[in-house]
C-alpha cells in the first residue's frame, strides 16, 4: 500500500526530495511515437518552461531535472523558511500568479478595507496559501495539470494523462543527494538519447554547463554553495566545478564505447561523501532500482522514520548492503 504523501515529507530531516512522474498513455509525453510516427518532442519544452516558471513562484528550488520521453525526474529543495518569512501581501501576489484566489484576497490586493469577519477568512486563506507555496504536492499538481491540459487539447481527447500519484523519495544526506542528482542529470545518456551531458536537451546539467562556460550559475536552479561550513549560505553543499567534472566523467563511463571506470585521481566529491567509484557508477545507473523510499545512511533513516512515525524502513537493508557507498 502506498504511503500518504504527508508521511513521506519530513522537513526536519531533509529539505531535498526526488520526484518522478510517469505518463500513462501508450503515446509518448515527448519524443517520437514509433506506432504513429508523430513527434511530441516540443512537449519537453512545455515541461521545462512550466517547471522553471513554478520555481520562481513557489518557495521550492529545482536542484536537478530531466524531461524524458514518458516521464520526468526532479530533485527539489523545499525552502519552508522563505515561505514563513514572506509577508501576507507577497504570499497573495505569488498565489494569484497561479490561481484567481478568493473574493477577500482580491479585495486585499486592490487596497479595499476588509471587515473583521472578512479578515478572519482572509487570514485563514493566507495561512493555507503559505503552506501550499512550500508544498511538493501542490508544486507537482500545478506542473502536471498544466501539461495534461495542453496535451489533451493537442491530442483532442480527455482523460488521465499522468499516473495518479507521483513518486517521491527523501534524500537524507549529502551522499544520497549527490548520487540522485547525478542519476537524474545522466538520464538521457543512460537512455541513449544523448551522448554527452552538454548535449542532453531539457536537463539541468545542460543549463549548468552552458552557464559555467561564462563563469556563471543559472538563476533558475538552486546554486552550488560549495563545501559545508559553519555559516552556510543557501545552496547545494558541493563545489560546482567538482560536481560538473564528476558528472562528465560518469557520463563517459556509462557510454558503451568507454571504459566503465573513474580514475582515482578524480575523486574529490566521492571521497567527501564516502562513495567508491564502483558503487558511484552503480548508483548513477540504478538509483531507483536500488532504492524505494527515503535514501540515506542508517542513522539518517532511523531519524526520518522516527519523526514520521514509520515502522518500516524500506531501504535499511539496501543502504547497508546494496548502497555500500557510505563507508564508516
Element (H, E) at 21: strand 16-22
Please say whether the dihedral angle defined by the alpha carbons of residues 175, 178, 179 and 181, taken in this order, is positive or negative: positive
Average pLDDT rounded to a whole number, residues 96-113: 95
Instruction: State yes or no: pLDDT of 94 exceeds 90.
Output: yes
Average pLDDT rounded to a whole number, residues 169-191: 93
Instruction: State yes or no: pLDDT of 201 exceeds 80.
Output: yes
Q: What is the mean pLDDT of the chain?
A: 85
Which pLDDT does position 7 carry in this prediction? 57
- 210: cell is 552552458
The answer to whether 133 and 95 are in contact (CB under 8 A) is yes
Against a cut of 0.95, is the pTM above it?
no
DSSP, res 232: P
Instruction: State yes or no: pLDDT of 27 exceeds 60.
Output: no
The answer to whether 300 and 13 are in contact (CB under 8 A) is yes
33-42, 111-120, 241-250, 282-291, range with the lowest pLDDT: 33-42
β-partners of residue 72 are: 21, 67
pLDDT bracket for residue 80 (50, 70, 90): very high
Between β-strands 60-67 and 71-78, what pairing exists: parallel, antiparallel or unpaired? antiparallel
Which pLDDT does position 316 carry in this prediction? 45
- The C-alpha atoms of residue 86 and residue 127 are separated, in whole angstroms, by 11
Which pLDDT does position 274 carry in this prediction? 86
Predicted confidence (pLDDT) per residue in 38-59, tens digit: 777 888 899 999 999 999 999 9
Q: Measuring CA to CA, how many Å separate 124 from each of 83, 129, 130, 131, 252?
A: 15, 9, 10, 11, 53
pLDDT bracket for residue 28 (50, 70, 90): low
Which pLDDT does position 302 carry in this prediction? 83
- The C-alpha atoms of residue 290 and residue 186 are separated, in whole angstroms, by 16
Instruction: State yes or no: pLDDT of 318 exceeds 70.
Output: no
Element (H, E) at 73: strand 71-78
Element (H, E) at 66: strand 60-67
pLDDT bracket for residue 258 (50, 70, 90): low
Which pLDDT does position 53 carry in this prediction? 97
**Percent of the chain scored above 70 by pLDDT?**
84
HEC sequence for 267-292? CHHHHHCCCCHHHHHHHHHHHHHHCC
pLDDT bracket for residue 321 (50, 70, 90): very low
- 4: cell is 500518504
66-70, 99-103, 213-217, 323-327, range with the lowest pLDDT: 323-327
| Better pLDDT: 184 or 195 | 184
pLDDT bracket for residue 327 (50, 70, 90): very low
Helical packing angle, 277-290 and 174-185, nearest 10°? 80
Instruction: State yes or no: pLDDT of 102 exceeds 80.
Output: yes
Q: How far is CA 276 from the centre of its chain?
A: 24
- The C-alpha atoms of residue 168 and residue 292 are separated, in whole angstroms, by 9
Instruction: State yes or no: pLDDT of 222 exceeds 70.
Output: yes
pLDDT bracket for residue 2 (50, 70, 90): low
Average pLDDT rounded to a whole number, residues 130-154: 91
Amino acid at each position: 500500500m502506498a504511503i500518504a504523501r504527508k508521511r513521506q515529507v519530513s522537513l526536519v530531516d531533509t529539505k531535498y526530495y526526488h520526484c518522478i512522474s510517469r505518463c500513462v498513455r501508450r503515446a509518448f509525453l515527448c519524443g517520437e511515437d514509433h506506432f504513429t510516427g508523430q513527434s511530441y518532442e516540443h512537449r519537453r519544452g512545455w515541461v521545462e518552461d512550466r517547471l522553471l516558471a513554478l520555481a520562481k513562484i513557489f518557495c521550492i528550488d529545482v536542484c536537478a531535472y530531466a524531461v524524458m520521453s514518458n516521464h520526468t525526474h526532479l530533485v527539489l529543495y523545499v525552502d519552508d523558511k522563505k515561505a514563513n518569512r514572506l509577508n501576507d501581501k507577497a504570499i497573495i501576489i505569488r498565489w494569484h500568479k497561479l490561481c484567481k484566489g478568493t473574493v477577500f484576497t482580491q479585495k486585499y490586493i486592490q487596497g479595499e478595507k476588509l471587515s473583521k469577519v472578512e479578515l478572519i477568512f482572509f487570514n485563514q486563506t493566507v495561512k493555507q496559501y503559505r503552506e501550499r507555496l512550500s508544498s511538493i504536492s501542490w508544486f507537482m499538481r500545478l506542473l502536471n495539470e498544466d501539461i495534461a491540459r495542453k496535451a489533451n487539447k493537442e491530442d483532442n481527447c480527455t482523460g488521465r494523462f499522468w499516473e495518479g500519484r507521483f513518486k517521491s523519495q527523501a534524500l537524507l544526506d549529502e551522499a544520497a543527494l549527490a548520487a540522485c542528482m547525478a542519476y537524474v542529470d545522466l538520464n538521457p545518456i543512460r537512455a541513449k538519447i544523448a551522448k554527452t551531458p552538454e548535449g542532453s536537451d531539457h536537463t539541468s546539467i545542460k543549463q549548468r554547463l552552458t552557464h559555467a562556460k561564462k563563469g556563471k550559475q543559472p538563476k533558475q536552479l538552486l546554486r552550488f554553495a560549495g563545501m559545508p561550513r559553519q555559516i552556510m549560505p543557501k545552496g547545494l553543499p558541493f563545489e560546482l566545478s567538482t560536481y560538473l567534472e564528476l558528472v562528465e566523467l560518469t557520463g563517459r563511463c556509462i557510454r558503451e564505447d568507454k571504459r566503465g571506470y573513474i580514475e582515482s585521481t578524480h575523486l574529490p566529491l566521492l571521497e567527501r561523501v564516502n562513495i567508491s567509484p564502483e558503487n558511484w557508477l552503480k548508483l548513477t545507473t540504478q538509483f531507483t532500482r536500488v532504492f524505494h523510499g527515503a535514501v540515506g545512511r542508517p542513522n539518517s533513516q532511523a531519524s526520518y522514520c522516527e519523526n514520521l512515525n514509520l515502522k518500516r524502513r524500506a531501504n535499511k537493508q539496501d543502504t547497508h548492503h546494496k548502497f555500500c557507498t557510505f563507508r564508516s
